[in-house]
Amino acid sequence: MSASRPRALEGIRRATADDLDAIMAIETSVFVTDAWSRELMQAELTAPHSFYLVVERDGAVVAYSGLRAAPSVEDADIQTIAVAPHARRLGLGRALMHQMIAEARGRGARHVFLEVRADNPSAQQLYDSLGFERLGVRPHYYQPDDVDAVVMRLTLQPVPPTVEPQPPVEPLPPVEETPTVERSAPVEPLPPVELVETAPSNGGFRQAQPAVPAVGSAQPAARSTQPAAASARPGAVAAPLVLGIETSCDETGVGIVRGTQLLANVIASSMDEHARYGGVVPEVAARAHLEALEPAITEAVARAGIRLDEIDAVAVTSGPGLAGALMVGVGAAKALAVALDKPLYGVNHLVGHVGADLLDADGGPGRDIELPTIALLVSGGHTSLLHVRSLTDDVELLGETIDDAAGEAFDKVARVLGLPYPGGPQIDRVAADGDPAAIRFPRGLTLPKDMAKHRYDFSFSGLKTSVARWVERREDAGEPVPVADVAASFREAVADVLLRKAIAACVDRDVPRLLLGGGVVANARVRQLAQERADAAGIQLRIPALSLCTDNGAMIAALAAQRISAGFGPSGLDFGADSTLPVTDIQV
């Protein structure tokens, strides 16, 4: 079966005056506050040194871009680029950028300039990936929004100039990421999302999952997560093909697995839209899920090389998480299950993070999780310590945060230090140049009196406040704040508490295995300290691939696949989103 992405796409061609109506329809829908006038756009299309392209899809213009470059002149300018809302996440923006750059090079330009909104980091990342460098900022450039413009430049290798423009281009490349709508104008009201393919396609064919040996009746010190092929429960399927949907926070995840083999893992993130608020806004997250779900499902199915009606089941995160965000995913999963006449499994988000360790991010056959294990799950919304005896039916909550989650603390401290959202990667970056022993910040709930009552619980609110007060004292005294040292010392305090309690749980419970999950696991110091302390205690450490640590649909599909293989029945259609779903409820 072919794994190529189905699309009705005529391609990119040179714009003409006949395209003006279609271009203006996109222009006014994308650049709401300062769209160019019809007269200005017409003048641009017909200017002697302008080069405008359009993308046609299903017979209609869905994107356009413009370049101003006189032949043999060293400097060229990308004037505009825009993609219609319904045609986003298809790689059109990147394809147009490549053609603009190629045309500038063909006309003998040495440099290509553009301007991008300072509040649009996703567009800046796209241009960074194409080799543009940042030259400076033009204050208050975008009006009436009063937003600065970042000036960027791409340096081209010199080639012999040619007056004639390049002919229309080859078919579009495969989807790489979300094209960000950008030019000297504001972006659309709805947040852009980014599609990230974190697993290779199945190469145009579907590989059956190898048979799994049955687990003996006697309980060994460590056992496999894989259920026996001859399960006591009726209806068990050895390697079910499951599509999983995850919408518990700000990332729309759709994953497809066959047993423990990862076929596709597509993530659409609205993080850039939340950055302006310094944290996740539930209403914005829910709207972004609505926008992203259908194309993400289409992308996952194409990458997996399957037909949608071939799946054995649909799985979805039913909780815990943001109520509005969860409802979008649950509603979509129910609709999909009914339309396809497939069973539906509503599963637990936190247990799904444990299930992520079953998968090989490169699309290999996956691996077993030796059980029992202690699992430390750390993200923006959760900090939990679990005792997992069985992934399918026996998970115990040992402790969790009693106030801020670790990820929240990273975001709030980053704001105190003047670093952008999300705070985790920013603190990790600047902490690399700091001294983790420079400042002794408090370790919450680690004193003997606290350990008696909250041995496995976490608290980061006091640590966050301590950092804020320390910074305030320096600023009040007129002294510079050593941002790198503060970041490194804060990061060390968080990592110390997390691993101190996780290792204690392993020792107390006589479980020589520790599994880490959640987005905060991407923090370099957390991973490093985990390995150091696990090695010192003789504990086996397991960390899934970083692409599977953040919220994703593949982990939800993997957990549901384990439940199906163990013979558990579907959830039905009468369940709803549960923002406080207990971790002991593996499936609703």
In this prediction, residue 145 carries a pLDDT of 76
Q: What is the bridge-based pairing of β-strands 147-155 and 133-142?
A: antiparallel
pLDDT classification of 232: cutoffs 50, 70, 90: very low
Quote the strand ranges of 407-506, DSSP E: none
DSSP 8-state class, residue 509: T
Query: Would you tell me which CATH number, out of the four given (3.40.50.720, 3.40.50.2300, 3.30.420.40, 3.90.220.20), belongs to the domain 190-207+227-349+565-588?
Result: 3.30.420.40
Which pLDDT band, with edges at 50, 70 and 90, does 202 fall under?
very low
Max intra-chain CA distance, the chain: 81
The alpha carbon dihedral of 352, 357, 363, 367 has a sign of negative
For residues 512 and 308, give the distance between their C-alpha atoms in angstroms, rounded to a whole number.
41
Instruction: Note if the bond before 372 is cis, omega within 30 degrees.
Output: yes
Task: Name which of 89, 102, 22 is nearest 55 in CA terms.
Answer: 22
Among 308, 382, 313, 360, which Cα is nearest to 583's?
Answer: 382
pLDDT tens digits along 413-445:
999 999 999 999 999 999 999 999 999 999 999
CB 543 within 8 A of CB 375: no
Residues 30-64: pLDDT tens digits? 888 778 888 888 888 888 788 999 999 888 999 99
Residue 188: the pLDDT is 35
Backbone dihedral angles phi then psi of residue 345, each to the nearest 5 degrees: -120, 115
pLDDT higher than 80, residue 400: yes
Q: List the one residue out of 513, 517, 471, 521 whose CA is nearest residue 494.
A: 521
Are the C-beta atoms of residues 390 and 290 closer than 8 Å to each other? Answer: no
Q: What tokens appear for 436 in the block?
A: 């983790």
CATH superfamily of the 397-543 domain: ATPase, nucleotide binding domain (3.30.420.40)
Which residue, among 520, 278, 274, has the nearest Cα to 412 in the 3D structure? 278
Strands (E), 121-240: 133-142, 147-155, 182-183, 194-197
Q: What is the pLDDT of residues 316-373, one digit of tens each?
A: 999 999 999 999 999 999 999 999 999 999 999 999 999 999 999 999 989 889 999 9
Buried b (16+ CB within 10 A) or exposed e, 310-320: ebbbbbbbbbb
Instruction: Share the mean pLDDT of the chain.
Output: 84
Instruction: Return the bridge partners of 253, or none.
Output: 246, 267
pLDDT score at 226? 46
Burial class (CB in 10 A: 0-12, 13-18, 19+), 449: exposed
CA angle 74, 78, 81 (to 5 degrees): 165
**Poorest-confidence range of 193-207, 283-297, 381-395?**
193-207
pLDDT of 189 > 80? The answer is no
Judge if 190-207+227-349+565-588 and 397-543 fold alike in CATH terms: yes
| CATH tag, 9-183 | 3.40.630.30
Q: Which sequence spans correspond to the domains of the chain? A: 9-183, 190-207+227-349+565-588, 397-543
- What pLDDT, in 10s, does the model give residues 451-495? 889 999 999 999 999 999 999 999 999 999 999 999 999 999 999
Pairing of strands 344-348, 147-155: unpaired
The arithmetic mean of pLDDT across residues 108-125, rounded, is 87
Nearest to 251 by CA among 174, 336, 164, 349: 349
> What's the confidence (pLDDT) of residue 269?
84
Cβ neighbors of 563 (< 8 A, separation 6 or more) are 345, 347, 392, 586, 587
Closest C-alpha among 353, 317, 320, 319 to residue 515:
353
- The whole model's pTM is what? 0.63
Confidence check: pLDDT of 11 > 90: no
Exposed/middle/buried for residue 103 (C-beta within 10 Å: 0-12, 13-18, 19+): buried
Most confident of the following: 185-189, 224-228, 281-285: 281-285
Q: Which helix (H) or strand (E) holds 167?
A: none
Q: Write the single-letter amino acid at 362.
A: D
pLDDT at 457: 97
DSSP string, 337-361: HHHHT--EEEEEHHHHHHHGGG--T
Burial 258-288 (b: 16+ CB within 10 A, else e): bbbbbbbbbbbbbbbbbbeeeebbeebbbbb
